[in-house]
Amino acid sequence: MSALEPDDPRSVGEYRLLSRLGAGGMGRVFLGRSPGGRLVAVKVVHGELLRRPEFRDRFRREVEAAGRVSGAFTAPVVDADPDAPLPWLVTSYIAGPSLDQAVAERGPFDPRAVLALAAGLAEALVSIHAAHLVHRDLKPSNVLLAEDGPRVIDFGIVRSVDAESITGTGYTAGSPGFMSPEQVNGDEVTWASDVFCLGAVMAFAATGTNPFGGGPTPALLYRVVHDAPDLDAVTDTALRSLIGDCLRKDPAGRPTPRDILARVGPLGGESATALPYAGQWTPSVRPTGPEAAPTLVTPPAAAHPATRVDAVRPPAPGPPDVRPPAPGPPDVRPTAPGEPGRRSRRAFLLSGAGAVAALGVGTGFWLNRPTTPDGPGTAPAPSSSPATATPRPPVAVGRWPLDETSGPIARDTAGGHDGTATGVAWQSGGQGAGFDGTGSQIVTDGPVLKTGAGRSFTVTAWVRLSAVPDVFATAVSQDSATASGFYLQYSSGDDNWAFSRPGRRAVGRTAPAANVWTHLAGVCDGPARKLRLYVNGVQEAVVEDTDPVPATGAFVIGRASFNGEPRDFFPGAIRDVRAFDQALAAARIRTLA
C-alpha cells in the first residue's frame, strides 16, 4: 500500500480514494471509502484498453455475470460503472494476508488448516459454478485469509461456461503452475479445471511449493500436462489422496467441489460454513473436542496427526495506515445519468450486491496482480492494529529499479541509499542499466547490509550478459578493506552463476547464455551458516558459509573488489536490484523471479 501518485484520481464516482493498493497490466487498484465510511477496493481500467472496441461490452457482460455469484467465501461487488469514461469496479476490501504471503512468512500449513482452507475454497467454487462461471485463475495470491475464513479474489479471467473464447495480444488464461492441463492445451475449460487449480493450491499450502516444481515456464507447463505432481512432502495420507484426486489429468476423474466438502468430514457439505476458521488460522486459539476440526472421510486410512507448522493468523481488520493524498488531477467521474444509451450502473448488480472476486472483473482484468513497492506478484498487506499485528512479508532495505533515463544517480526507492553511476548506459523499455564490463559501476555512499558472522541477508537482481565472459563478472557485491563481503556473479571458473564469499561458492546448474534475462537471488542464512543460490526462482545450490566477511564498505552494482581494488566488472545489463536484511524463504523468492 502506498500514497496516491500525482496522476491518480482522488475520487471515483462517489468513492473517495485513500491510497494505492497497486497496479497491473489492466488497470490501477485503490483503497477507497464509501460515503458511509466503508472501506472498499476500487479498480479503474487503463484508458488504452478502450481502444479495443469489444473491451467495454465484454467488461459490461462480465460485471453482469459477477452479480450472479453469491457465497460466504467470495467478496461482494459493491458498485460498478462500465460506461464511465474510464470503467471502474468497486468491491469489498478484504483485510488479511494472501495465502502465498502466509506461507512465505510461517511456512506450510498443518493438515487441519489445509482442510479448513479446502472447505472454504470448495464452497466458493460451488457459488461460482452455480452462476455458470469458471474462475480460471485460482492460485495462492488470489486467496486472502480473512479472520473468518478464506476469500477467493481476482476473478480476472472468470468466464461464463458458454461464453466465447477470449483472445487478445498478451492474454494468458491462467497462471503457470496453477493451470489445468486443459488450460495449457487450449482445450475446453469446464468447472473441473477450477478443481485442478484448487488441488495445486492445497498442495502449495501443505508443502510451500508448487506440486509441479519451478523453472522456465515451458518446462513447468509440460510437467502440468504430462507428469505426476510431487506430493511426497504431504505427510497426511488422506490429505495427499484428496489433493491427488483433484490433480488428475482427466477432468472427468476429478471430484466436484461438493465432493470435496463431503470428504472433509462432519463439517463438510452444506454445513461447511460452521468451520471454526478463527481456530484454524490462529495457533493460539485451538478448538477442542472431537468435532472441533474437520477431518477427511477417506476409507480406509485415517488422517495422520498434524506435522507441519501452524498456519499464520491474519491481521485483524482495522483502518489502514495511509498518507494524506497529494493534490492531483481531476476526479474520474461517471458521465451524466441522462446520457443516451447509458444504463444505470447499479442495474448491473443484483439486489443484495452479488459477490465476486475482490480484485477485478473483466476481460483479462487484473490478470497480473498489482505491483507493490516490494515487487510484482505480491498481494498488498493491509494494516492491523498494534495489538494484533503479525510479521509482515520481508520488505527490501534497498531497491534500485535502474529505470533512470539520464543522470549520475541510481535511485534507491526503498531505503534511500542512492548510488553514483559511472560509465553506465541508461536504457529505456525496462532494459535496466547497461554495463560495459570494464569500468561501469553504481556505488552507494556506504554499506546497505551487515554481512558478518551470524548475519542473514538476501540480494536479488535481474541480469543479462551481453556475452558469456571468460573472466568472473559480478552483478552485486558490497566492499570491504580486503574483499567483497559477498558476490552475486557469473563464475568463469565454473561456467555458471554463483553466490559467493571469499573461498566459498554456491554454484548453479543453469548454464548462462548471452542476451537472456535471468533472475538471481543469493541468500545468506547466518544462524544456519548456509549460502544459497536461486536461479529464476529455483534453488540450485547450497554450501556451508565457513568464513563470513564483515563488509562495511559501499554496496556496489556492476563489479566486485579484492584487496581494495575494483575488479570483475559485469558486461551486459542489470535491473531491479534488491537487498533484504534477512534470509528470504524460497516461496518469497519465487514471487520476485
Q: Which three cell numbers stand for residue 490?
A: 557469473
The angle, 0 to 180 degrees and rounded to 10, between the axes of the packed helices 191-207 and 99-106 is 20
Q: How far is Cα 62 from Cα 54, in angstroms, rounded to an integer?
A: 12
Catalytic status, residue 137: yes
Q: Are the C-beta atoms of 366 and 358 separated by less than 8 Å?
A: no
DSSP-assigned letters across all residues of 317-370: P-----PPPPP-SPPB-PPPTT-TT---GGGGS-TT--EE-TT-BSTTTT-SPP
How far is residue 39 from each of residues 34, 42, 110, 379, 436, measured CA to CA in Å? 7, 10, 32, 17, 50
Q: Are the C-beta atoms of 400 and 382 separated by less than 8 Å?
A: no
Q: How far is Cα 287 from Cα 460, in angstroms, rounded to an integer?
A: 41
**Cell 490429505 belongs to residue:** 239
Which residues in 43-64 are b (16+ Cβ under 10 Å) and which e?
A: bbbeeebeeeeebbebbbbbbb
H or E segment to which residue 104 belongs: helix 99-106
Residue 276 one-letter amino acid: P
Q: How far is Cα 481 from Cα 474, in angstroms, rounded to an integer?
A: 18
Q: How far is Cα 320 from Cα 39, in angstroms, rounded to an integer?
A: 9
Q: How far is Cα 329 from Cα 219, in angstroms, rounded to an integer?
A: 46
Q: Which of 83, 137, 310, 403 is catalytic?
A: 137
Q: How far is Cα 265 from Cα 576, in angstroms, rounded to an integer?
A: 47
Contacts of residue 461, defined as CB under 8 A and 6 or more positions apart, other chains included, come to 475, 476, 488, 519, 520, 557, 574, 575, 576, 577, 578
Q: How far is Cα 503 from Cα 62, in angstroms, rounded to an integer?
A: 59
Which residues does residue 39 pair with via DSSP β-bridges, in sequence order? Answer: 33
**Cell 503479525 belongs to residue:** 390
Closest Cα partner for 280 from 198, 205, 199, 197? 205
Q: Are the C-beta atoms of 480 and 552 separated by less than 8 Å?
A: yes
43 assigned binding-site residue: yes
> Residues forming the annotated binding site?
43
> Residues forming the annotated binding site for ATP?
43
**Catalytic site positions:** 137
